[in-house]
Amino acid sequence: MAVTGRFVALLAVAIVPTVLLGSGWGGLAWIGLVVLAAAVDLVLAADLRLVRVERRMPRLARRDTTAEGTLVLANDGRRVLRAVVRDMWEPSAGHGPRRIPMTVPGGERRTARMRFAPFRRGRRTTAGIALRAAGPLGLAARQRVVAAPDALVVTPPFRSRRHLPSRLARLRELDGETTLQLRGHGTEFDSLRDYVRGDDVRSIDWRATARRQDLVVRTWRPERDRRVVVVVDAGRAGAGRVDDEPRLDTAIETALLVGALAAAAGDRVDLVVLDDTVRGRVHGATRADVVQRFGETLATAEPGLRATDWAAVPAIVDAVTTQRALVVLATSLDSVGASGDLLAVLPVLGRRHAVVVTSVEDPAVVRMAATGGTTDGGGADAAGRRAERDRTERDRTGRAARDRDGDGVPTGRRTGSSRRLGSSRLDGRSVLDGRSVRDGWSRKDAEQVYRRAAAERTLLDADGVADVARRAGAEVVRGLPEDVPPRTADAYIRAKASGRL
């Protein structure tokens, strides 16, 4: 039972006869009359045991989008149902409106529109529907919670979808479906055509040339029906937060983009969500359902504090396919200690497959290494972006020299250290000597220097781990969270173009 605001207002009216008559008997009589009316109103209210509810709603909804559903209320009784309906969804489901007033005559049904705007991926649930049926006087109401459990799976937002058209255009160029011809891409035989000046002489088919008495060349196309296996790290490496989101979200965006691109290219795509055990798996996704199946599996993936069992990855990939495949390890490379198990597995994977390892950089650390502070706004973002571009360019230009040295991590660290500290124009003794701080430096300057040194140390550790991964035969894709998915897609296109699949 519940009372309404009208009932409370009528009770407050009891003050009037009490003041006018100078006696409390008039007020008590009025209160008794209001309570009696509320009891009659409650008896005349519709029986909620004869009310049925039904939901018609989608099973899946993408995060940061809007989905619609329908709530059906059926009144099997004879009295008119004047109800306020509240569907008890989790707040992160973004359900609205919160309360729906509905009037349903006896023996009829009515519908109401619902809206879902979820802002958190995962499985959002509801325990039931709360009904409050008021009587004809609007003084009292009956209440009941109808058990109607349901769930809405909120899939990832797939923000990296905007990079898909440009990558598909590049794949069509490789496949010869556009007027632009790029020679030398792919290793799968496509057709024969007449020789044109500028063609590679190594592609001349001499047997066909002898038959036709004219130069004929073979044309090639990227291989189709290859295998792509995406392993998403749901262990402790994915639990770190970058830009107010866990690193796992960047790995999810990478898996969705690579999966959609590979399926569109005619390859077979598989997904594995892994921490200390396999948490989710998608096998043999096709172009029509790859985004939906990947999204549904990744929607419930949550990062934990368990160490990822990288030693099981070779066996998992062998269970998926026995032929050469592109294995994308969506994780993060932080330090040798944290990534030791992954680095030990890379040589085993690299002997049979083409391996791509992704690593997410924290924009705050990049900004700190560039400016030494924690400034906010567009200036900080621009500084972080410039520092990230400079680091990427240094990685590209210095990779060959570091590979020739061949002495592992220390070479990459020495090269990066001298280059970084030289660019920052810092003298180690002046930084660490307390007297220099007393002589002219403020405490804020000292904190800025130490903060910048810590950020540089973090980036240098990641550089060293990336060098070890490259020497193990893997291609390392590093960048800010929004850059990792398109760069990984570019790595897949390069593998297709070079025939490494």
Of 182-191, 304-313, 322-331, 489-498, minimum mean pLDDT range: 182-191
Q: Phi, psi (5° rounding) for residue 2?
A: -145, 150
The one-letter amino acid code at 88 reads M
pLDDT in tens, 109-165: 999 999 999 999 999 999 899 999 998 888 889 999 998 899 999 999 999 999 999
The answer to whether residue 231 scores a pLDDT higher than 50 is yes
Mean pLDDT value of segment 463-490: 93
Inter-residue contact 62 to 161 (CB < 8 Å): no
Mean pLDDT of 177-199: 59
Q: Give the model's pLDDT for residue 184.
A: 43
Q: Is 249 exposed, middle or buried (0-12, 13-18, 19+ CB in 10 A)?
A: buried
186-189, long-range: CB < 8 A, 24+ apart: 186/220, 186/221, 186/222, 186/223, 186/496, 186/497, 186/499, 187/220, 187/223, 187/499, 188/220, 188/221, 188/222, 188/223, 188/224, 189/218, 189/219, 189/220
- Using one digit for the tens of pLDDT, what is the confidence trace for 16-48? 777 666 667 777 888 888 889 889 888 888 889
pTM for this predicted structure: 0.74
pLDDT reading at 347 higher than 60: yes
Q: What is the mean pLDDT of residues 305-312?
A: 91
Q: Is pLDDT of 273 > 90?
A: yes
The residue that leads in pLDDT, 90 or 176, is 90
Comparing 197 with 73, the larger pLDDT belongs to: 73
Q: What is the 3-state secondary structure (H, E, C) of 17-31?
A: HHHHHCCHHHHHHHH
Cβ atoms of residues 93 and 118 within 8 Å: yes
Secondary structure of residue 447 in the 3-state scheme: helix
CB 439 within 8 A of CB 313: no
| Bond preceding residue 97 cis, omega within 30 of 0 | yes
Question: How much is the pLDDT for 392?
Answer: 57
Q: What is the pLDDT of residue 441?
A: 56
pLDDT recorded at residue 498:
79
Q: What's the pLDDT score for residue 330?
A: 94
